């Protein structure tokens, strides 16, 4: 008789800046103990950021959720204990005894699944001001409130600060991805 496993996504709090090491430790630990089937995915949501430094173009992955690692897991047996005691992990987000899984809609936004893209007009004549409160209407952070930090009218983009899991995360969005509150 086959055992049915129920998988959910969980957020693990990790030491900020050590997310990649935590991911490696989890994957290695699960593989060494033969628990690969109980933890099929470990993700660090990132976005690619291009910068020109001293005339050279550099591409860098920037974490969307600094201090967090997302884990798809079936929490049975000693799996929660192993995840909690991974080096660099501070615990589960949502409780230690019975961790709260993330909502599927949150995961879909992070992974970009089932997100319908809208056609945005090529020219938008909107005046945004630094410090103004806006709501993100498109993309993985749709529905989040944000505060404008910088305005780039020539590119029709904004640098906004979004509060996610109690931490402020900077994002660069186009005018069409936000609306005033």
Q: Domain-by-domain residue ranges, the chain?
A: 8-111, 133-180
Q: For the chain, where are the E strands, in sequence order?
A: 8-14, 41-43, 46-53, 56-63, 68-73, 89-92, 133-136, 145-152, 157-164, 167-174, 178-180
DSSP strand pairing (145-152 vs 133-136): antiparallel
Average confidence (pLDDT) over 147-162: 89
Q: Is the pTM of this model over 0.75?
A: no
- More confident: 47 or 38: 38
Going by C-beta distance under 8 Å and a sequence separation of 6 or more, which residues neighbour residue 80?
92, 99
- More confident: 82 or 110: 82
Which backbone phi and psi does 171 adopt, to 5 degrees? -135, 150
Q: Is the pLDDT of residue 118 over 60?
A: no
* Class level of CATH domain 8-111: alpha beta
Angstrom CA distances, 39 to 16, 57, 60, 67, 133, stand at 22, 37, 27, 20, 39
pLDDT tier at 147 (50, 70, 90 boundaries)? very high
Retrieve residue 49's tokens.
């950021």
pLDDT of residue 10: 92
pLDDT tier at 2 (50, 70, 90 boundaries)? very low
Retrieve residue 141's tokens.
């952070």
The architecture of the domain spanning 133-180 is: Roll (2.30)
pLDDT of residue 28: 93
pLDDT of residue 112: 67
């Amino acid at each position: 008789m086959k055992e049915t496993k129920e998988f959910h996504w969980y957020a693990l709090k990790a030491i900020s800046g050590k997310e990649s090491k935590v991911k490696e430790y989890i994957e290695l630990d699960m593989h060494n103990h033969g628990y690969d089937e109980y933890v099929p995915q470990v993700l660090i949501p990132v976005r690619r950021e291009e910068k020109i430094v001293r005339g050279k173009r550099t591409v860098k992955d920037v974490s969307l959720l600094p201090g967090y690692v997302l884990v798809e897991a079936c929490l049975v047996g000693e799996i929660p204990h192993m995840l909690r005691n991974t080096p660099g992990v501070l615990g589960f987000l949502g409780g230690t005894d019975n961790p709260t899984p993330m909502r599927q809609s949150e995961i879909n936004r992070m992974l970009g699944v089932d997100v319908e893209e809208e056609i945005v007009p090529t020219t938008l004549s909107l005046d945004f001001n630094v410090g103004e409160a806006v709501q993100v209407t498109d993309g993985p952070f749709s529905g989040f409130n944000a505060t404008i930090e910088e305005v780039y009218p020539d590119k029709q983009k904004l640098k906004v600060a979004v509060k996610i899991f109690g931490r402020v995360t900077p994002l660069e969005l186009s005018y069409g991805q936000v609306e005033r509150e």
